[in-house]
Structure 1
Amino acid sequence: MEGQKKILFVINPISGGKKKTAFNKKVLEVLDLSKFHPTFQQTTHPNHAYELGKKAVEAGYDAVVAVGGDGTINELGSALVGSGIPLGIIPEGSGNGLALYLGIPMNEASAINRLNRFETVEVDCGYINDKPFFNIAGLGFDATVSDRFANDTIRGPIGYLRSVVNVISKYKPSKYILTIDGKTYEREAFMISVANSPQYGNNAYIAPNASVSDGILDVCIVHKFPLYILPMMVFRLFNRSADQSEYVEIIPGKEIHIQRVEEGPIHVDGEPISLSGDLKITVKPKSLKIIC
Structure 2
Amino acid sequence: MGERKRILFVVNPISGGKKKTAFNKQVLEVLDLEKFDPTFKITDHPNHAYELGKLAIIEGYDAVVAVGGDGTINELGSAILGTGMPLGIIPEGSGNGLALYLGIPLNESAAIRRINRFESVEVDTGEVNGRNFFNIAGLGFDASVSDHFATENIRGPMGYLRSVVNVLAKYKPSDYQLIIDGKTYTREAFMISVANSPQYGNNAYIAPQASITDGILDVCIVHKFPLYLLPKMVFHLFTKSADQSDYVEIIPGKEIVILRDKKGPVHVDGEPVEMGERLEVSIKHKSLKIIC
TM-score, scaled relative to structure 2: 0.99
- Does the aligned pair in 1 maintain the 2:263–2:274 contact within 8 Å? no
User: Which residue does 1:27 correspond to in 2?
Assistant: 27
Instruction: Output the CA distance in 1 between the equivalents of 2:277 and 2:50.
Output: 25
Gaps of 5+ in 1: none
Q: Deviations over 1:225-282 (max 9, x none)?
A: 0000000000000000000000000000000000001322100000001112300000
Secondary structure of 2:74's counterpart equals helix
State the alpha-carbon separation in 1 of the partners of residues 290 and 62 from structure 2: 12
Contact 1:174–1:262 (Cα < 8 Å) also in 2: no
Alpha-carbon distance in structure 1 between the residues aligned to 2:46 and 2:22 = 23
SS at match of 2:193: strand
Distance 1:246 1:77 in 2: 35
Give secondary structure in 2 for the equivalent of 1:265: strand
Q: Secondary structure at the match of 1:45?
A: coil
SS class of match (1:191): strand
Work out whether residues 262 and 276 of structure 2, in 8 Å CA contact, stay in contact via their aligned partners in 1.
no
Partners of 1:39 and 1:103 in 2: how far apart?
A: 25
**Aligned equivalents of 1:58, 1:19: Cα separation in 2:** 30
Match status 1:16 vs 2:6: no
Counterpart-to-counterpart distance in 1, 2:291 and 2:258: 33
1:3 maps to: 3
Runs of 4 or more, structure 1, over 4 Å off, are none
Structure-2 residue corresponding to 1:248: 248
What is the alpha-carbon distance in structure 2 between the residues aligned to residue 52 and residue 187 of structure 1? Answer: 41
Work out the CA distance in 2 between the residues paired with 1:28 and 1:155.
Answer: 29
Which letter does structure 1 place at the counterpart of 2:159? G
Q: Is the 8 A contact 1:178 1:185 kept in 2?
A: yes
Give the count of matched residue pairs. Answer: 292
Structure 2 residue aligned with 1:209: 209
Structure 1 residue 93 corresponds to structure 2 residue 88: no
| Alpha-carbon distance, 1:285 to partner | 0.1
CA apart distance, 1:162: 1.0
Match of 1:125 in 2: 125
1:178-225 deviations in Å (ceiling 9; x for gaps): 000000000000000000000000000000000000000000000000
Q: Where in structure 2 are there 5+ consecutive unaligned residues?
A: none
Alignment partner, residue 108 of structure 1: 108
- Which deviates more from structure 2 when the two are superposed, residues 272-281 or residues 219-228? 272-281
Instruction: Name the counterpart of 1:77.
Output: 77
Tell me by how many angstroms 1:158 deviates.
1.1
The alignment partner of 1:274 has SS state of strand
One-letter amino acid matched to 2:175: K
Matched, 1:42 2:42: yes
Superposed CA deviations along residues 40-96 of structure 1, whole A, max 9, x for unmatched, are 001001110000000001111100000000010000000011000000000000000
Alignment partners' CA distance in 2, 1:29 and 1:94: 25
| 8 Å contact from structure 2 (residues 150, 272) kept in 1 | yes
Match of 1:222 in 2: 222
C-alpha separation in 2, matches of 1:25 and 1:159: 30
Q: How many angstroms apart in 2 are the aligned matches of 1:173 and 1:56?
A: 43
Q: Distance in 2 between matches of 1:154 and 1:14?
A: 12
Tell me the SS of whatever aligns to 1:189.
Answer: strand
Aligned residues: percent identity?
76
- After TM superposition, the score normalised by the length of structure 1 is 0.99
Query: What CA RMSD, in Å, does the superposition of the two structures yield over aligned residues?
Result: 0.8
